[in-house]
Chain A
C-alpha cells in the first residue's frame, strides 16, 4: 500500500525567504508523485508532478521538487516566498498516473510580511 507523510502541518516563512515543504512517501513500485496547492474554499490545483525521467521537476509559480529515491522523499521548494504563496499544500502518490491517488494530510504555509 502506498502512503504519504508530510512533516509539519503548519510552516511559517518570511516574505522573500526559502520555502521548504517536506514529503516522504512509501510505494511498492516506482511512484508517480504530485504536489497540489489549495486556497481557502477552493479545489486543489496541480503544482507539479514526477512520473519518470529527470528527478528535478519544475512547476508553476516558481516551485520545484526533487525526487530522491534513496530517501523516499519529494520535498517542495521555492527560493523566495511571496505573500500569494500562503495556502495549503498537499503531497500525493500513486502507483501509476491512472490509479487512485493517496494524499498527505497537508501543510499550511503562512508567509509573514
Chain B
C-alpha cells in the first residue's frame, strides 16, 4: 500500500546535538511538507518542497534544515540552533488536487 513512512517514531536529543528525522513516500506525490505540532497551537509549517532540489521556508524555519534530493524523500534536520525542539513532527505529501497524506509522526524530546 502507498503511504508516508516517518522514522523513528520516538527520538531523544541531547543539548547541542543535531538530529535528522526521516520521511519517505511512495505515493508519487510532487509536494512534501514538514509541520511541527505543539499542544494548543495546531500545526505550524517548517519547510515545504514542490519539486526535487527545491524547497521553501515555512513559518518557523529557524533552527531547521531540509533537503530534497529524491522525489520520495524529504528529511528534516533539527539543528542545535533550534532552542525548543521538543514537539511532535509531522511529514505530509500532496498532489495538485489538494488534500494532504500524513505520516504517523516523530515525537522528539530533548534530554
Query: Which residues from chain A contact B100 at a C-beta distance below 8 Å?
Result: 34, 36, 44, 46, 101
A51 within 8 A of B: yes
- Counting chain B CB atoms within 10 Å of each CB, the highest count among A43, A46, A101, A103 belongs to A43
Within 8 A of B (CB), among A26-43: 32, 34, 36, 41-43
- CB pair A100–B58 under 8 Å, yes or no, is yes
- CB pair B99–A98 under 8 Å, yes or no, is no
- CB pair A98–B96 under 8 Å, yes or no, is yes
Query: Which residues from chain B contact A51 at a C-beta distance below 8 Å?
Result: 97-98
Query: Which residues from chain A contact B41 at a C-beta distance below 8 Å?
Result: 105
- CB pair B105–A41 under 8 Å, yes or no, is yes
In terms of DSSP, what is the predominant structure of the interface of chain A?
loop
- CB pair A46–B99 under 8 Å, yes or no, is yes
Interface size on A, residues (CB 8 A): 23
Taking the nearest CB of chain A, how far is it from the CB of B72, in angstroms? 17
Within 8 A of B (CB), among A72-113: 90, 94, 96-98, 100-101, 103-106
- CB pair A104–B94 under 8 Å, yes or no, is no
CA separation between A106 and B35, bound complex, in Å? 14
CA separation between A45 and B100, bound complex, in Å? 8
Cβ-neighbour of A103 out of B42, B96, B97 (below 8 A): B42
B50 within 8 A of A: yes
Binary interface encoding of chain B residues 72-111 relative to chain A, with 1 for a CB under 8 A from any of its CBs, else 0 = 0000000000000000101010111111111111010000
24 contacts across the A-B interface (CB closer than 8 A): A34-B100, A36-B102, A41-B88, A41-B105, A42-B105, A43-B4, A43-B6, A43-B104, A44-B90, A44-B92, A45-B102, A46-B99, A46-B100, A49-B99, A51-B97, A90-B43, A97-B94, A97-B95, A97-B99, A98-B95, A103-B42, A103-B43, A105-B42, A106-B40
**Contact residues of B with A, CB < 8 Å?**
4, 6, 31, 33, 35, 40-43, 45, 48, 50, 58, 88, 90, 92, 94-105, 107
**Contact residues of A with B, CB < 8 Å?**
9, 32, 34, 36, 41-46, 49, 51, 90, 94, 96-98, 100-101, 103-106
